Structure 1
Amino acid sequence: MSNAILLDNTFYRLTSSQRYDHVISLIKKGSSVWTLADSEGCLIIDLGSDKVLPIWPNETLALAWGEKDYQSFATLEINAEDWAAKWLPGMQGDRFSVGIAPNLAGECIVASAEEHAADLNR
């Protein structure tokens, strides 16, 4: 999948599963993930039974997603090594899940930090 696809809305037309697989492959290759944060910390979406940290494979997609409801948030880059070694273990302890590349309607695969870490190690 080319970067051109990542930088326009065609990325959001991919299925949640395709977006998930693509993000996993990028992280395995050492690419950073991006999320949204403000002065209080990272954006955590409360879905009732799940507390979810949304991530995207690039800054442009994270910004585009946040434009409507999260304009006060800025992007935060997390390098792949820190994501796997620090963030995911911390999220496991906090029982946070990961929302992988939500589309503009908010649809995405939500995985526990443990499941996501296991997918990165496959």
Structure 2
Amino acid sequence: MSYTLNEQDKAQVLSLSDNERFNHLVNRVNEQQELWILTDEHGCMMLTTDDDEDCIPVWPHAGYAQDWAQGDWQHCKPEAISLNVWLKRWVPGMTDDELLVAVFPTLNETGIVVDPYELKDALDRKKSSGRHN
């Protein structure tokens, strides 16, 4: 159900601030009903922040996730997770495992790192507002 991502749109979105990319992800995930992670044969890719917090990076489109699949992560592939599965399984599971979410990181920026329920709350607020900007 993914939308078409052209290079011009991609460059424009990647130039946004962390907060603007967070909002973009919330909007797109609500529209598309999916988000993207990177996986390999061992499971999903995780990052460790400068504060030694473990987090799972998420993106609104496979194209953004694919950008990360280089260097140490070149063996990783983008994988879609339906919004329903994310909310029902991943959010409680990540909370139980004390993992955070890196929301829409770029190669230069970590993105906003939040508790899984903070992202869920933002997605729920967007859904209840009924707007898809």
Task: Provide TM-score, normalisation by structure 1.
Answer: 0.87
Q: Write the distance in 1 (CA, Å) between the matches of 2:9 and 2:37.
A: 16
Post-superposition CA distance 1:25-62 (Å, at most 9, x none): 22223431111111111001122531110011111110
Aligned to 1:41: 43
* TM-score normalised per structure 2: 0.80
The answer to whether the 8 A contact 2:5-2:63 is kept is no
**SS in structure 2 of the partner of residue 76 of structure 1:** strand
Question: Cα–Cα, structure 1 residues 33 and 14, in superposed 2: closer, same or farther, change >3 Å?
Answer: same
94-103 or 4-13: bigger deviation: 4-13
Q: Is the 8 A contact 1:7 1:61 kept in 2?
A: no
- Whether 2:103 is the aligned partner of 1:105: answer no
Residues 1-122 of structure 1 correspond to what in structure 2 (within 5 A)?
Answer: 3-4=5-6, 8-47=10-49, 48-122=51-125
CA RMSD between the two structures? 2.0
The residue matched to 1:121 in structure 2 has which SS? helix
Distance 1:30 1:81, change over 3 A: farther
Which letter maps to 2:38? Answer: L
Q: Cα–Cα, structure 1 residues 25 and 90, in superposed 2: closer, same or farther, change >3 Å?
A: same
- Structure 1 unaligned segments of length 5 or more: list them: none
Q: Is the 8 A contact 2:38 2:79 kept in 1?
A: yes
Partner of residue 130, structure 2: none
Asked whether the 8 Å contact 1:30–1:81 carries over to 2, the reply is no
- Asked whether the equivalents of residues 40 and 75 of structure 2 are also in contact (C-alpha less than 8 Å), the reply is yes
How many residues are treated as equivalent by the alignment? 121
- Find the aligned partners of 1:67 and 1:93 in 2 and give their Cα distance: 30
Q: Following superposition, which runs of at least 4 residues in structure 1 exceed 6 angstroms of deviation?
A: none
